[in-house]
Structure 1
């Protein structure tokens, strides 16, 4: 197919006339940044995220945690260089509203956190977010003892009635539609009284590298995580060391 010469004028690609000597700073990872924010918010002492990715999804995650009472200070890192966010975990409060936008990590990772809040937390977002499945997280949290009002939609909007604690235990989840269902439960499990054992029941389990990322980051903050198979993971309660992650 012949290319219209006018198309190339839309973006004149830069080119070098000789050898290039440059330093390139690769942005941080959204997946790492949002997991790190949750783990820092649930830690027992303040932690740092150095060179986090600044994007709509990560700002929504930070905003959701702030709505529940977590302090997140933006500034320069502890070494005096580069942007950093200092996360000061506080008692999670209810009577809050979390805007998830259309961010899958926010709408799935924060409801387990909200079960630990002292009161109800409402979750809402963009119209498109109403179409995204949340039933895996909702059903699992109910099985673990949480109270959630979603009018039986298995989707947003919904309210999580935090009770300040959750016992945890063993739960079965069909994560065929999103591995984030598994990661969501594992990330908050160190704050559950008994931790959590997640058993995937679906025919397929997508995005295994993202579950491994979650497990590795949990271990980095001292959590005991057993993964006897790709379809089963257990995180023990109690370990909440302050994290310090650096973006790439």
Structure 2
């Protein structure tokens, strides 16, 4: 009971962080939608799925071959959350890299402004340098706005990562409780869950789910890329048509004789 309370507390803590720092749905829908589509579960809530009557001593590792339907449901949910966590890590790493690159862009823009001001002072306030200063100031404002957006996205990404981590820990708790019973503590969660996921029959089943996920993930990625390319072509066509409508006719009207 204390273990369940501890895990639940970690989930609530992660959720509270997200509420304080709302996440843009467009930044989080992909991972959850893809994983729930690729690795569907018969129930949306593992606790609500049909599980055997809890055994205080657990079923034991020897009972994992063959896998029962109940343990398969838990493993599906484990794999779904595990993949979600991995995808979130990739997203956060990308945002972190983009944030660092944008910091460099801001520094570069500020250096350009410094050089322009120096040239203006040297040349006695030349108007050309004044225009450069104005352009550089606008560029700094633009780059700093991008930096602020990336900082927020990265912060939100880490908050979402905390939620995924807590969710995965909760599934680990259910697995360990099901296999080993109640004779373990929170500190041994990773060790005990590893004994389950590395069991030959469990490992084989998780690999099957992983292959299935990867195939569908590639299919979804290809479909999105095709859709993006089609959208880009349509957008380019619209821009060309708009430009053509703006251009004055080159045909001259005949003069009256």
**Quick check: TM above 0.5?**
no
Normalised to the residue count of structure 1, the TM-score between the two structures is 0.19
Q: Which has the higher contact order (CA 8 A, sep 6+)?
A: 2
Larger Rg: 2
The structure in which a higher percent of residues are strand is 1
Normalised to the residue count of structure 2, the TM-score between the two structures is 0.19
The structure in which a higher percent of residues are helix is 2
